[in-house]
Chain A
Amino acid sequence: MNKFIKAAYAGLVYIFLYLPLVVMAAYSFNASKYSLSWKGFTFKWYGILLSNTALLDAAIHSLTIAITSATVACLIGTLAAFMLQQYRFKGRKAVFGSLFIMMMTPDIVIGISLLVMFLAAGMALGFWTLLMAHVTLCVPFVAATVYSRFRGFDNSIIEAAKDLGASEYQVFRHIVLPMAMPGLIAGWLLSFTLSLDDVIISFFTTGPTYEVLPLRIYSMVRLGIKPDVNALSVLMIIITVVAVTMSRRLLKEKK
């Protein structure tokens, strides 16, 4: 009986989480444009997506930003994690603190504070400002992922390498980096999804010259339900699912 209640409760929560997504996915294959009623199966809306150049441009922009910002964030985040693990210096605690605060800061505050900085610096909003903003969003998460990977490290390997005459850079390049690789890839995928999912920070830090997908969807969605948006959403969910399962597998394998 107890077991039954537990299963029923978990089931209800999953229905709550998935029902809207399933309904949306079903609509994306529905031939009827407006009503709820089923008018037959169609791939029409996916076809319409492919001919919508504004949307495709935004999708390419989104992917470009996600890939670039994830790569840059991985570089900075890994160095930050390496520094926190290896070096003892003044302000180390402050670095932990600020990374934690940056991770917890609401998106809207990150967005507007960067916007104020870009305005103060007289920068035009577009690709570069958006890239910097997304890197800022992702670095703390990469640092945390890679750092947690470092915690299980056997430090004697690094000491041995140093005794044998390896420079700090060589230690980083040939020992730390390969050992941190699974964490690094997981961090990359995490950043990729973070960047692709972000609406609020992009909203404030990009301009009309560089529109990204979530913002494009946002302006379409405000006008109500549209079957081609359904189709697009389904595609984005699929990309997310692939990235998530890949990063989970990577983190699990090396445990």
Chain B
Amino acid sequence: MKDSLIFRRLVISGILGWIALFGAIPVLLLTGVSFLQRHPSDLIEAVFSMESYARLSDPAIGSMLFKSIMMATMATLLCLLIGYPFAYIVARANKCHARTMLLFVMIPFWTNTLIRTYALVAVLKADGFLNTALIFLGIIDAPLKIMYTQTAVFIGLIYTLLPFMVLPLYAAIEKLDHRLLEASRDLGASRWTTFKKITIPLTMPGIVSGCMLVFLPALGMFYIPDILGGARTMFLGNFVRDQFLIARDLPMGAASSIAMTSLMGIMLLIYYRNLRRSGRTVRL
């Protein structure tokens, strides 16, 4: 009996210790650093200061933040718009087809996003596949300038993150009880009403996790603006990286990333609160 207790205690304290060391402490340290001041030679100085947070409202930084959030939001919405009908088609296809269709979403999902971003260059560049094909078909005369613009970054975000939207949506739609939709139609609801009142609320958990899986990386993936947007495009991810590795302003980098994640955290908290209040259970 004593052996069992020791094993049990060992496992619990080990896991709790691991979570504390690698889950909690780094984030606490990061939060701590965001309230300190930068020091020219020692990186940080142990003086409490809100300066980094105050600087978030600087016109230059503020507009960069606004641009990043807008870009990420638009990419998320477009992924949802493209991904929802697609996930619906996959989920409603017959079992055998659905399995193959799903596999072909999994492959890009698991392929290195850096490699997929790089693959896009050959399609988008001035003498790339897209321009060559469009000129060949006579649709355009001169090559479109897409590469090294914000449009390229936008296309890149949607291209790399679409599978991250489709998979959670598929999981939610697949679980949807078809009888509920039939019942709704039998009781006289139109297709649109059924979709709005039954399908969307029931697949909401999938929509939320899909949006999270797209929105958060869209803010952080600094290599997409780097590769597709050229040198001058600055988004939150690049900004944080530059603060850490080039400007060596750790408090600023910490503050901007913490402000962003807490914003997301609050949004999620509100969502789950509302969900609990409306009586539906969520499985994390």
The interface of chain A, by Cβ under 8 A from chain B, is 6, 9-10, 13-14, 16-21, 23-24, 27, 35-36, 76, 79-80, 82-83, 87, 89, 91, 95-96, 98-102, 104-110, 112-117, 119-120, 132, 135-136, 139, 167-169, 172, 193, 196-197, 199-200, 203-204, 214, 217-218, 221-222, 224-225, 229-230, 233, 236-237, 240-241, 243-245, 248
B244–A19 touching, CB < 8 Å: no
Name the 9 nearest CB pairs between A and B, nearest first: A108-B220, A113-B26, A20-B119, A168-B4, A113-B30, A24-B119, A168-B7, A106-B216, A106-B220
B86–A119 touching, CB < 8 Å: no
- Residues of chain B with a CB closer than 8 A to A23's CB: 119, 122-123, 129
B163–A113 touching, CB < 8 Å: no
B250–A241 touching, CB < 8 Å: no
CB of B70 within 8 Å of the partner chain: no
A17–B3 touching, CB < 8 Å: no
Chain B interface, number of residues (Cβ within 8 angstroms): 76
A20 and B29 contact, Cβ closer than 8 Å, known pairs A79-B11, A136-B22, A217-B118: no
Per-residue A-contact encoding for B259-279, CB less than 8 Å = 1, 0 else: 001000000100000000000
Residue of A nearest to B102 (CB): A248
A9–B86 touching, CB < 8 Å: yes
- Residues of chain B with a CB closer than 8 A to A16's CB: 159, 162
A236 and B115 contact, Cβ closer than 8 Å, known pairs A35-B127, A225-B125: yes
Q: How far is the CB of A30 from chain B (nearest CB, A)?
A: 10
Per-residue A-contact encoding for B146-173, CB less than 8 Å = 1, 0 else: 0000000000000100110000000000
Q: How far is the CA of A116 from the CA of B257 in the complex (A)?
A: 13
Q: How far is the CB of B117 from chain A (nearest CB, A)?
A: 8
Q: Which of A36, A83, A193, A224 interacts with B132 by CB under 8 Å?
A: A36
Residue of B nearest to A190 (CB): B110
The interface of chain B, by Cβ under 8 A from chain A, is 3-5, 7-8, 11-12, 14-16, 18-19, 22-27, 29-30, 33, 43, 82, 85-86, 89-90, 101, 103-108, 110-116, 118-123, 125, 127-129, 132, 159, 162-163, 212, 216-217, 219-223, 226-227, 237, 240-241, 244, 250, 253-254, 257, 261, 268, 284
Q: How far is the CA of A217 from the CA of B89 in the complex (A)?
A: 36
B250–A116 touching, CB < 8 Å: yes
Q: How far is the CB of A185 from chain B (nearest CB, A)?
A: 16
Q: How far is the CA of A114 from the CA of B21 in the complex (A)?
A: 10
B217–A107 touching, CB < 8 Å: yes
- Residues of chain A with a CB closer than 8 A to B122's CB: 20, 23-24, 27, 225, 230
**Among A16, A82, A99, A230: residue with most chain B CB under 10 A:** A16
A114–B216 touching, CB < 8 Å: no
Q: How far is the CA of A172 from the CA of B220 in the complex (A)?
A: 39
Q: How far is the CB of A133 from chain B (nearest CB, A)?
A: 9
B26–A117 touching, CB < 8 Å: yes
B86–A10 touching, CB < 8 Å: yes
